[in-house]
Amino acid sequence: MSINIDQTFSGRKVFSRLLIISFITLASACATVDFEAEKTPSYALPGTQDTFLGQAATQRETRPKNQSGFALIPDSINALAIRLLLAAKAERSLDVQYYMIKNDIIGRLFFATLVQAADRGVRVRLLIDDITTGGMDKGLTAVADHPNIELRLFNPFASRGLRAFDAWDLQRLNRRMHNKSFTADGQFTIIGGRNISAEYFAYNNDYNFADLDTLAVGPIVSDTAAMFDSYWNHRKAIPFKQLSKQKPDDGARLKKLRAALLENLEAIKKTPYASAVSASFEEYLERKVDYTWAPYQLVYDSPDKVIASKAEAADKITDSLLHTVLGAEKSLLVISPYFVPLKSGIAGISELQDSGVQIDILTNSLASGDHILVHSGYAPSRKPLLEHGVRFFEIREDLAISGTSRAKTDKANSSLHTKAFIVDKRYLFMGSFNWDPRSAYLNTELGVIIDSEYLAAKSSKAIYKAIPRDTYEVYLNQNKQLRWRTHDENGVEIVFDKEPHTSYWKRLRANLGRLLPIKSQL
């Protein structure tokens, strides 16, 4: 299903690749972003009990000191419903930070909820990485026209039309803000792996992502607010109005946007998906949420990481993650859609495995992954790590994703997007960090390490229960050759001697990708 609102969110059409290449030669004449332009700093509003969400959070205040409450959200329908509820019930502020908000039916629904909140007088601060906003400037201009919405783009492109003009600035543009957070009234926050588009919320008929967020309450909310402020007021966060080429108008753009978003809402209301989301919305509205209270550490990169000259000295999420991982004594379960260890990473993982820690890796198969080149970077790590005893489980393309059956999209292919790890069935990390060079060295990331045996053990148990049916276990046969095994619905073992359910051409492309010197960029 698609709604044609090109007048509001228009996609930039490119006539030919040759034309783009010829334009690149004009790069020396391209515009630049004025990162030193004056902008007004702003900060998170303090939480207050005099709101619906404040009262709801207060009822959760019976907790040990310095702990926060966590409710994991693996279900895709619930993940959307709780965001819609927080936006609908916010009375003072929404601080929203995402790597991607796509111009699709879910992205437009999300924008509609923000506009509706702003209409009620809620202050909305919206921070989006600029890598995926190409062609959306008309719609974003209309959003930014709202007096209660301030939109900033992180590390933006200078060319708001044909982005090939910015090819000369690749070193800067290669570093992106990958964080995802959603904080309402200073009382509740959502952090995790989901961006905003149909495939993250079980509404894509071609493929959907298995992903994980947490709804959190307690001190972590103010910690997340401080993180958001550090990005919002950073020199790389540019007010959209400073970038926009659109002329001021008398409100016509915002009026047109409202009409387009309303049309989008009406289209969703006619689907089974709307009923499923509405049911989840009502459950959350009745406060049917079980929180696990636990010590935690909010971990994130300094926004300075996107500045090449400051990246080395910037505070990094990897410092905290490595400390937790290297403290493992018995087990480490890694869940990452993109697992691309460099030689040093392979050596470190092998050493940890040899020390007596059982390491299991859950990642995408070639069939389920959404980036062939990532698989090209990952595949060479399997054999050396398997030889040390590391176990690999690759997600099947028909993985059952929670929420898709209610959304009537369970026939679509599946892909892993969860970014998490579990240490000694005690520490659970979840967030935006992938086990790849891009997360480690180029992009900024956000996550939380939760010290909870209950959540860690519960999550671990659910994963291992699903492994026989939902993954291909990769192993070496007696001749040291890679093999993949899984089980059918009757528990019968099936063994593959090639990457399961892939064509010759897809395997060839993945193998050829290994020849490219781009592993550090994956």
| Domain shared by 323 and 446, yes or no | yes
Taking residues 75-79, report their average pLDDT.
97
Residue 180 is a catalytic residue? yes
Q: List, for residues 313-367, the tens digit of each pLDDT value.
A: 999 999 999 999 999 999 999 999 999 999 999 999 999 999 999 999 999 999 9
Instruction: Tell me, rounded to whole angstroms, the distance of Cα 174 from its chain centroid.
Output: 17
Residue 419 is a catalytic residue? yes
pLDDT at 61: 54
CATH at 107: 3.30.870.10
The confidence band for 170, taking pLDDT boundaries of 50, 70 and 90, is: confident
pLDDT at 161: 76
| Domain shared by 398 and 251, yes or no | no
In a domain, 458, yes or no: yes
| Domain shared by 375 and 434, yes or no | yes
Taking residues 195-210, report their average pLDDT.
97
Amino acid at residue number 86: L
Q: Which of 89, 375, 417, 519 is catalytic?
A: 417
| Domain shared by 246 and 309, yes or no | no
Q: List, for residues 140-150, the tens digit of each pLDDT value.
A: 999 999 999 99
In a domain, 431, yes or no: yes
Tally Cβ neighbours within 10 Å of residue 79: 25
Instruction: Tell me, rounded to whole angstroms, the distance of Cα 504 from its chain centroid.
Output: 31
| Domain shared by 233 and 317, yes or no | no
Q: Which of 89, 180, 305, 375 is catalytic?
A: 180
Minimal CA–CA distance to 180: which of 258, 73, 252, 92? Answer: 73
Taking residues 471-498, report their average pLDDT.
96
Collapse the DSSP code of 289 into the 3-class scheme (helix H, G, I; strand E, B; otherwise coil) and give the result. coil
| Domain shared by 281 and 316, yes or no | no
Q: List, for residues 434-470, the tens digit of each pLDDT value.
A: 999 999 999 999 999 999 999 999 999 999 999 999 9
Taking residues 208-229, report their average pLDDT.
98
Q: Which two tokens stand for residue 103?
A: 């111009």
- Whether the CB-CB separation of 331 and 355 falls below 8 Å is answered with no
Task: Express as a percent the part of the chain with pLDDT over 70.
Answer: 94
Helix H segments across 180-251? 219-232, 240-243
Classify strands 181-184 and 93-98 as parallel, antiparallel or unpaired.
Answer: antiparallel
Amino acid at residue number 369: G
Task: Express as a percent the part of the chain with pLDDT over 90.
Answer: 82
pLDDT at 426: 98
pLDDT at 285: 86
Mean pLDDT, rounded, of the chain: 92
| Domain shared by 442 and 387, yes or no | yes
| Domain shared by 278 and 374, yes or no | no
pLDDT at 29: 52
Residue 323 is a catalytic residue? no
Give the burial class of 485: count Cβ atoms within 10 A of its Cβ; 0-12 exposed, 13-18 middle, 19 or more buried. middle
| Domain shared by 108 and 161, yes or no | yes
pLDDT at 30: 58
Q: How far is Cα 254 from Cα 198, in angstroms, rounded to an integer? A: 24
In a domain, 335, yes or no: yes
Domains identified in the chain, total number: 2
Q: List, for residues 222-254, the tens digit of each pLDDT value.
A: 999 999 999 999 999 999 999 987 787 888 999
Residue 178 is a catalytic residue? yes
Above 80 in pLDDT, residue 15?
A: no
The confidence band for 60, taking pLDDT boundaries of 50, 70 and 90, is: low
Minimal CA–CA distance to 126: which of 111, 106, 109? Answer: 111
Q: pLDDT higher for 57 or 191?
A: 191
pLDDT at 28: 44
Tell me the angle at which helices 272-285 and 76-89 cross, rounded to the nearest 10 degrees.
60
Residue 146 is a catalytic residue? no
Q: Which of 75, 95, 185, 211 is catalytic?
A: 185
The confidence band for 8, taking pLDDT boundaries of 50, 70 and 90, is: very low
Above 80 in pLDDT, residue 124?
A: yes
| Domain shared by 309 and 458, yes or no | yes
| Residue 383: domain span | 300-521
Q: Which of 178, 234, 305, 519 is catalytic?
A: 178
Look up residue 270 and give its DSSP letter.
Answer: T
Q: How far is Cα 455 from Cα 502, in angstroms, rounded to an integer? A: 35
Domain boundary pick from 257, 285, 313 = 285
In a domain, 66, yes or no: yes
Q: How far is Cα 508 from Cα 494, in angstroms, rounded to an integer? A: 23
In a domain, 435, yes or no: yes
In a domain, 293, yes or no: no
In a domain, 31, yes or no: no
| Domain shared by 250 and 333, yes or no | no
| Domain shared by 212 and 318, yes or no | no
Residue 89 is a catalytic residue? no
- Whether the CB-CB separation of 204 and 107 falls below 8 Å is answered with no
Q: Which of 130, 424, 436, 470 is catalytic?
A: 424
